[in-house]
Structure 1
Amino acid sequence: MDARRNRPSVIETRTRILDAAQSLFAAHGFEATSMRMITTTASVNLAAVNYHFGSKDVLVQEVLLRGLRPLNTLRMQALDEAEAAAGGAPVKARVIVECFFSGSLALAAQSEQGREFMRLLGRTFTEPSTVVRECLATEYAPVIGRYRDAFSRALPAVPVEDIVWRLHFMFGAMSYAVSGIDTLQVMTGVQIDEPDAMARMVPRLMSFLLGGLRAPLPESN
């Protein structure tokens, strides 16, 4: 038997490395995850990682981009469709929130790998290394710009600075909610053992996010 038939393809090896890195980065963080941990989990040698990615920094970027680019494409398409349906009128704030967050929440509800990626995104808030910051800035800039403008049209009484802050708060709330169900059970003692707990959480979270977006502005001193 030709031994070459049992060798993984280049694409399979690359995917296995990305899957292992995502899982480890989500569980342990970017800095705490070593290349040895990645090669052991992926069952490859260091030469394979270097061949496909060249360095750990590039691997971090590729893991983030693999998940972020499809999500951001969906966000832009959803907003395009909502604006077309509005016929030139401002898109309602509720619809804008759904356009931005529904893809992320559906991803988290559909698979463990999806929830894992959302936990990884949560890491980007607490471990903002230069590599992570540069990657997020490049990928999010056009998306956030479009959504900031849409929110400004939907909520003309809310200053742009407050819209940006509220987007920041919504990012944090979503990341924590998606990754923290186990923590919630430990902290509250309430068992959330529904088989579809994640799916049932989505409308609750969307309601919460919309309420925060529409909240009255704080009184200035």
Structure 2
Amino acid sequence: MSAVPKMTVPDTKDAKSAAQSSDTAERILDVAERLFMAHGYDGTSMRMITGEAQVNLAAVNYHFGSKEDLLREVFRRRLAWLNAERLAVLDALETEAGGKPLKPSLIVEAFFGTLLKMGEDPALGGMTFLRLLGRTMTEPAAFIRTFFAGEYAEVMDRFKDALFRALPDVPREEIAWRFHFMLGAMSYAIAETDILSLIDGFEVSESDVEAEAARQLKARLMPFLLGGLRAPLPQLPPGRLPPGA
């Protein structure tokens, strides 16, 4: 008589432990995101993070390692969606265009509009993440500057190439400058402007006010960015600046 195979029973303890570990990691990331946004990287201590997240330092070290690694993971979980969505939108636009250059407005919307859309959705970080991103981009530490360069490399190349094709009469160096200025304007707007203080008469939940703030920011910032991109070419003086000028 052949032996009856034993039934494999899932280890519910292991599954529960894994779920609790994941919940702990997400809670640490959420708290770190808020504190880094409010106090900056240098102004946020690991003690502040562990206190608000109600975990010990060993838990933070286990999930993320150092404070630098924690900040990288705070950004990585948001930028993964952002970069994938930007490229997906650009791919769809280029497919629809059938090989023809895109309108500059569509490119600007795909790059900057996709980011600003995150401010309307707390599940994507909402205005908390936008303010953190803007603050970090305006006062970056060397390690995070290197991190951003790696995370954004493919996206930046794709969008700059799209702008080069869309604006064939504008020198590539000039397009690079204008893209740099657009990034700066966007970073300052989301980091320094307290949109909520400009909105009156809203008797709604905080998340609804945040979403309205993001919509108002997008409505005002997008035309400004596009206007800068379309500005007349500058009348530059002949020659180049001397080294060190």
TM-score, with length taken from structure 2: 0.80
Partner in structure 2 of residue 213 of structure 1: 229
Counterpart pick for 2:199 among 192, 198, 206? 192
Q: Which amino acid aligns with 1:55?
A: S
Distance in 2 separating the partners of 1:211 and 1:19: 36
Q: Which structure has more helix as a fraction of its residues?
A: 1
Question: Over residues 44-77 of structure 1, what are the superposed CA-to-partner deviations in whole Å (9 max), with x where a residue is unaligned?
Answer: 0000001101111111110111111110100111
Instruction: State which drifts further: 125-134 or 65-74.
Output: 125-134
| Equivalent pair of 1:166/1:212 in contact (CA under 8 Å) | yes
Q: Which amino acid aligns with 1:100?
A: F
- Structure 1 runs of 4+ with >4 Å offset: 5-8
| CA spacing shift, 1:61–1:197, aligned 2, 3 Å | closer
| Equivalent pair of 2:135/2:188 in contact (CA under 8 Å) | no
Q: Which amino acid aligns with 1:127?
A: E
Q: Percent identity?
A: 53
Partner in structure 2 of residue 17 of structure 1: 28
| CA spacing shift, 1:162–1:124, aligned 2, 3 Å | farther
Distance in 2 separating the partners of 1:172 and 1:138: 19
Root mean square deviation, CA, Å: 2.3
Q: Which amino acid aligns with 2:119?
A: A
| Equivalent pair of 1:174/1:205 in contact (CA under 8 Å) | yes
Counterpart pick for 1:153 among 165, 173, 183? 165
Partner in structure 1 of residue 218 of structure 2: 202
Aligned residue-pair number? 213
| CA spacing shift, 1:44–1:169, aligned 2, 3 Å | same
Q: Which amino acid aligns with 1:118?
A: L
| Equivalent pair of 1:93/1:151 in contact (CA under 8 Å) | yes
TM-score, with length taken from structure 1: 0.88
Partner in structure 2 of residue 32 of structure 1: 43
| Equivalent pair of 1:178/1:198 in contact (CA under 8 Å) | no
**Which has the larger Rg?**
2
